[in-house]
Structure 1
Amino acid sequence: MCGNAAGEILPPYVNYKAEKMWDTWTEGGPTGARYNRTKSGWFDGTTFEDWFNTLLLPELKKKDGRKVIIGDNLSSHISPRVIETCERNDIAFVCLPPNATHLRQPLDLSYFRPMKIYWRQILDDWKRTSFGRKYPTIPKDTFPSLLKKLVDKLANNGPSILKAGFGKSGLYPINRKEVLARLPNAELDSSLPLVSSSFITHLESVRAQETLAGTNRRKRKLNAEPGKSVHATDIPALSINSDQQDKQGSSGISQKKKKSMNPKKIETIRSDDDTVSYKSDTDNDFDLSLSESEDGLTHPLEETEAYVPEVDDNVIVKYEEEYWPGVITKVHKSGITVSCMARSGNFWKWPSQEDILSYSLSDILCKIKPPTKVSSKRELYNVPELKDKWGIVE
């Protein structure tokens, strides 16, 4: 969420914890809302830049004079490209001091509290429906419509609440005494009841009989570029047709509990000598800065000559603080797609279901020689570079 001292609120920007986008995750939401996804569900630098360029910057360009963006000091918000864009458009980027958002962040001070109250009411109403009772959490297909209800509820008094937050933060009008007056100096109020009447009312209402029913319908996978958000109007161009979707099936299930980010199925080819190769289209225009040393390994940012990754290169990637050998199946503008091996005791093997994920440059540890087969019967391989060159114990 983002708003200004005049009480204006931008459309919300939704970031799902997922590696694919589906059309139903974007339908029925607030006007102008955009939707994205990351592996962790948190904003990263790419997501922040996308939000800045698609929602905030177009709005700021409509304003005359100097503009100021105020945010916390998360590393994902410190983007050289965003800073350069700000300078070109007469925008100042100001970070709040650490551990001060509860004192200086206008939305934290006023807007989010009524927003959370409304959100709890919307969730309670939804959970009491026969459709809502089926699910322990909100399906992503349902979330946009619930979010629209929230935005509609905030439309009436939201602007005045936001203005009050800017005043209470001392940012506009500028008043440092507002912050100093709210520094912790009060004792805990022990007069509050342990169980409120609203909670009792909630328990009674949960037992009420509801006949409202929801409907499930077939979803369409979106062929969205990783790191880029989508709008509901983008759906026709990004939708993968049902025949292609049926062919894809569930082959993207990961051995490390992650899903495939590659919308196309990678064809695995095994030759007579049991060597493994992959057939895939490639677009070698990704700007990388890796270099190849004399020992045959490619070490990140240590040499002078640039290394351009190619399909069928054997590499080691970093995922969730662990290292995995694999082979590059595709190189594209937004990342490098790698099919990884799976652990099998002290050795490695190619999993029965391909473990495919798109990685950034920083995730590629090095280029290695093809893994050495140690057992033809069990299809086991050894990756000596993990230990010999990087000191990684398997």
Structure 2
Amino acid sequence: MYKNTLDYAIQLDKEDKLAHLRDEFHVPKDQKGNNWLYFTGNSLGLQPKRTQHYIQQELDDWAKYGVEGHFEGETPWLPYHEFLTDKMAKVVGAKPLEVVVMNTLTTNLHLLMVSFYQPTKKKYKIVIESDAFPSDRYAVGSQLKFHGFDIEDGLIEWRPREGEELLRIEDLESIVEEQGDEIALLLIGGVNYYTGQYLDLKRIAEIGHAKNCMVGIDLAHGAGNVSPELHESDVDFAAWCTYKYLNSGPGSLAGLFVHEKHAHNKELPRFAGWWNHNKETRFNMRQPFDVMAGAEGWQLSNPPILSMAAIRASLDMFDEVGMTALREKSEKLTAYFEYLIQQIDTDRIRIITPSNPKERGCQLSIQVKNADKSLHQKLTENNVITDWREPDVIRCAPVPMYNSFQDVFNMVEILKSLL
């Protein structure tokens, strides 16, 4: 059983085998030099100290080699994206063939829907969760319009039941059972950005495939946070950003997954570019398009090296630690956070994220009664960095890479004093 004392939090940090990782990151400070209590890794991860070295290496090689840097140096640029593949595949539980780092999240979702959203006059509808991240809603809405369908008719929302905040998998099952003959695609956020609920990807894939629907997952809030085991889940495709839990910097590149079962299907519709053409003949220039197998077959352009260098720095850290150890700490750290919040004697806040560790990552969503943003603003004034999501939630993410048990204790003490 946990204890609500500073000494206990300090003891947990002493026992934490990953506590040393905190020193690998730059922690922002206030004007007096005090560390912020940073709980927004779900929005932008902190910068690893090694990132500067990785980027500087590429700047130095650019200065030293010029265009020959594509072939020379410690990490030549021509195959640079391949340096990320194996480690990214481990983070999301995929085979290397199934993963590539490229573009940004919504761009990747559109490129994937070119292939996996193939509507007919009868089977054209798309299912999303009702509180999907706005970018996903805009993306699928624009796909429906592009194909000549009305959004009001073509978009089906999987909603929580009245009076509830969380989604029930049996309600999705009912939707697909009743309307599956008209549904072409399920595009679901694997970890909901608002509630922090981690959904059962394998079950979602089974439900969709039972009615011959394609299944895609937005893992923006899942990659580096949970262990989605994408290959085993059998979803058709997924995409995620890398600037949240993967700590690669603002606006950095995204990841893409296409299941192995689609890896060698050259007949899938797709947009084409230089970089998804067969790498063996790519530089022969005047060849007919010959698409590459696997996730690389969705690339269009050569990779932006400086952004990829930041991702490589982060992925090297993940590879050194492993998702198993990170998840183990995450579950303990988040449970302690939940316990401390529940000790506050107030009816002004409540946690809407599932209590079951298997149904959440590290994010806890604190719902504020009467939708009062002032509590969030006061936390910020006290160097507690969280984020506010309309209409009434403060999102907090104790990230196992760099947050400590003492961070969590101190944050809740400040929250308690403000309440």
**Which band: TM-score by shorter chain?**
under 0.3
Bigger proportion of residues as helix: 2
| Bigger RCO (CA 8 Å, 6+ sep) | 2
Larger radius of gyration: 1
Alignment TM-score, normalising by the size of structure 1 = 0.27
